[in-house]
């Protein structure tokens, strides 16, 4: 299935283009500084948000969507019925697409940690998912990990999904400006380039239009609040719906 046309039309020469990119960058700098001492994003911390087992499984005829990411997917700081996967499921159903969105978000996960648990997660589903939405790499950036390693891990995740004949969508992240131009030039193109290589749908920046509005963010300025999640879902759901329909 060719879904390269689903790439959100704000990509230019391999980089996300935003009217307020400098503002995003400045806020991401703040986020990075906060994340350096944030318990929510520290591996092994007792408070880290792990998506609980789903209360229900898919019903006959449901599309299965695997939301595979970090705390932005897990629903850190909000109720599970306010999380991105839960709200995405509701949005798809409102569009007439019966769906079961499995929350496989784990707070603090890097792309490497995600890769390590991918096979286990896929094998734990009742059947092969119709779509996997991947949202990893943000913690890699916040911790200053080598973008080449992030790319390699995401490439391996997409390769595994391709081998299993599972369609995929990426939700991307952008580098904080204090990481330097060289880091940004290595990190920012990862998502659009991999999307093109694997013919995957792409939403370039998960927090687009949210991270710049404190009314849409939790006090930690790292995670969206329920209103922010609603705004994200409003933008992401049409891309997911198109991927499922094609």
Beta partners for residue 66, in sequence order: 102, 132
C-alpha span between 96 and 85 (Å, rounded)? 17
Q: Token pair 């998506």 is at which residue? A: 51
Closest CA to 236 of 215, 208, 214: 208
Beta partners for residue 12, in sequence order: 15
CB atoms within 10 A of CB 74: 28
Positions marked catalytic: 71, 220, 223
Helix (H, G, I), strand (E, B), or coil: what is residue 171? Answer: strand
Terminal alpha carbon distance of the chain: 7
61 burial via Cβ count (<10 Å: 0-12, 13-18, 19+): exposed
Query: What's the length of the chain?
Result: 246
CB contact at 8 A, 76 and 45: no
Q: Is the dihedral of CA 8, 25, 231, 133 positive or negative?
A: positive
C-alpha span between 243 and 226 (Å, rounded)? 25
């Amino acid at each position: 299935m060719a879904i390269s046309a689903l790439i959100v039309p704000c990509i230019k020469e391999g980089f996300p283009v935003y009217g307020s990119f400098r503002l995003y960058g400045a806020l991401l700098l703040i986020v990075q500084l906060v994340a350096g001492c944030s318990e929510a994003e520290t591996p092994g911390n007792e408070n880290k948000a792990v998506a609980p087992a789903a209360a229900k499984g898919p019903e006959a005829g449901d599309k299965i969507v695997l939301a595979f990411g970090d705390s932005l997917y897990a629903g850190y700081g909000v109720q599970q019925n306010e999380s991105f996967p839960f709200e995405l499921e509701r949005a798809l159903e409102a569009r007439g697409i019966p769906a079961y969105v499995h929350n496989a978000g784990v707070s603090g996960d890097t792309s490497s940690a995600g890769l390590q648990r991918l096979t286990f997660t896929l094998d734990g589903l009742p059947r092969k998912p119709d779509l996997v939405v991947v949202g990893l790499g943000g913690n890699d950036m916040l911790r200053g990990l080598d973008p080449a390693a992030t790319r390699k891990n995401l490439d391996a995740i997409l390769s595994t999904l391709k081998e299993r004949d599972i369609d995929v969508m990426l939700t991307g992240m952008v580098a904080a400006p204090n990481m330097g131009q060289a880091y940004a030039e290595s990190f920012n193109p990862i998502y659009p380039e991999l999307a093109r290589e694997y013919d995957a749908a792409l939403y370039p920046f998960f927090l687009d239009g949210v991270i710049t509005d404190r009314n849409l963010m939790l006090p930690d300025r790292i995670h969206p609040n329920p209103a922010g999640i609603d705004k994200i879902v409003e933008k992401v759901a049409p891309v997911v719906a198109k991927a499922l329909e094609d």
